[in-house]
Amino acid sequence: MKIGEVIQSADWKKEKHAPVIEAPAVVKAGEPFVVELSIGKEIAHPNTTAHHIAWMELYFKPADDKFIYQLGRFDFSAHGASAKGADSGPAWTSPSARCVVTVQGPGTLVATSYCNIHGLWEGSQDVQIA
């Protein structure tokens, strides 16, 4: 089996697990730009002790390169758990992240997310150079 065989993808407007990437479609080579990641932009994903997004990762695949490069990993550790019981804790972390990225050429941003019940998901967005 290969990892690609178990990663699910879907239109984020219809699926609450697919990571959403919000970034400019066109950027300048060598200049920083903001990338925002989220889960459940159109359909909210549960954020409970029993059902939550544990992490997201962001990668960049240059158009002219064989390899993909990891840009960041974002862990979401608080889901309402406590000694008092599930979902009675004092804190929750929402599955969203923001980072600043610089690229030298066109390519594709790829995000992955992990739901503790429904597994691995991916989303992507192409980035062109002005």
CATH of the domain at 7: 2.60.40.730
Domain of 10, in residue numbers: 3-94+103-129
Q: Which of 14, 16, 28, 36 is catalytic?
A: 16
Q: Which of 41, 61, 99, 118 is catalytic?
A: 118
Indicate yes or no: pTM above 0.85.
Answer: yes
If one counts the domains in the chain, the total is 1
Give the span between the Cα atoms of 109 and 104, in whole angstroms: 13
Q: Which of 52, 57, 79, 115 is catalytic?
A: 115
- Is 36 designated active site? no
Contact call for residues 110 and 61 (beta carbons, < 8 A): yes
What are 82-103's pLDDT values in tens digits?
999 999 999 999 999 999 999 9
Q: Quick one: CA dihedral 22, 27, 30, 33, positive or negative? A: negative
Stretch among 11-15, 105-109, 113-117 having the lowest mean pLDDT: 11-15
Give the span between the Cα atoms of 19 and 126, in whole angstroms: 14
As a dihedral over the C-alpha atoms of residue 15, residue 16, residue 21, residue 25, rounded to 10 degrees, the angle is 30
